[in-house]
């Protein structure tokens, strides 16, 4: 699908994040390398954010923009819950993010994958720097996304068990890290289901990663 605009060179960022739906959950995964041109600026960058108890988002782009917008989404989602007496849905939060990006139209150097679980079940959305929104069963963002998407295309199946979905997400990010110099160092994984948002322990991720 054409987005109508191509990002300028300064908006092309180095990272790999993936999001996919499983039978009763959503899995978000990312590498942890932050780059500034050819410099590896940080080896433990946070690229997955908890927005609510059942919604998370990955980021690719400017760290400053990401931190500001993730904080804004958290505040707006909390305010919505206080005012309405119910949590914001995954689709509504994604639309809020889309509106913020569209109003800026290139002002914010940021692309996000939003995943969550609500009354409509597990959902994943892709958003870009001008506010486009695409719903999918699996998706990826960042400079390593072509490699990660290749793995997902080859191995994704409907209604994957949670454990298999976690393995696939790790495998997709790990493959991208092998071929994309701007992605690397380590892997983060978060899982969202009816019981809430969980960050996988580093030792568990490493154990699965080394088995690939």
Backbone phi and psi for residue 110, each to the nearest 5 degrees, phi listed first? -155, 135
d(CA 50, CA 163): 20
Report, as residue numbers or ranges, the catalytic residues. 15
Kindly report the three-state secondary structure assignment for every residue of 70-115. HHHHHHHHHHHHHHHCCCCCHHHHHHHHHHHHHHHCCCCCEEEEEE
Greatest Cα-to-Cα distance within the chain, rounded to the nearest angstrom:
48
- CB of 186 closer than 8 Å to CB of 46: no
């Amino acid at each position: 699908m054409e987005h109508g605009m191509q990002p300028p060179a300064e908006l092309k960022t180095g990272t790999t994040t993936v999001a996919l739906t499983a039978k009763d959950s959503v899995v978000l995964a990312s590498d942890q390398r932050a780059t500034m041109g050819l410099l590896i600026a940080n080896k433990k960058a946070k690229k997955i954010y908890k927005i609510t108890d059942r919604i998370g988002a990955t980021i690719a782009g400017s760290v400053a923009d990401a931190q500001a917008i993730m904080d804004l989404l958290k505040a707006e989602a909390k305010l919505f819950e206080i005012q309405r007496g119910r949590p914001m849905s995954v689709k509504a939060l994604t639309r809020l993010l889309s509106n913020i990006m569209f109003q800026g139209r290139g002002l914010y150097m940021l692309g996000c994958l939003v995943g969550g679980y609500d009354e409509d079940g597990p959902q994943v959305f892709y958003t870009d720097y001008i506010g486009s929104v695409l719903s999918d069963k699996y998706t990826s963002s960042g400079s390593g996304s072509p490699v990660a998407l290749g793995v997902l295309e080859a191995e994704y199946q409907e209604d994957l068990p949670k454990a298999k979905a976690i393995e696939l997400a790790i495998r997709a990010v790990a493959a991208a890290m092998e071929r994309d110099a701007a992605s690397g160092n380590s892997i983060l994984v978060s899982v969202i289901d009816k019981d809430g948002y969980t960050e996988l322990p580093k030792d568990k991720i490493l154990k699965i990663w080394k088995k690939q």
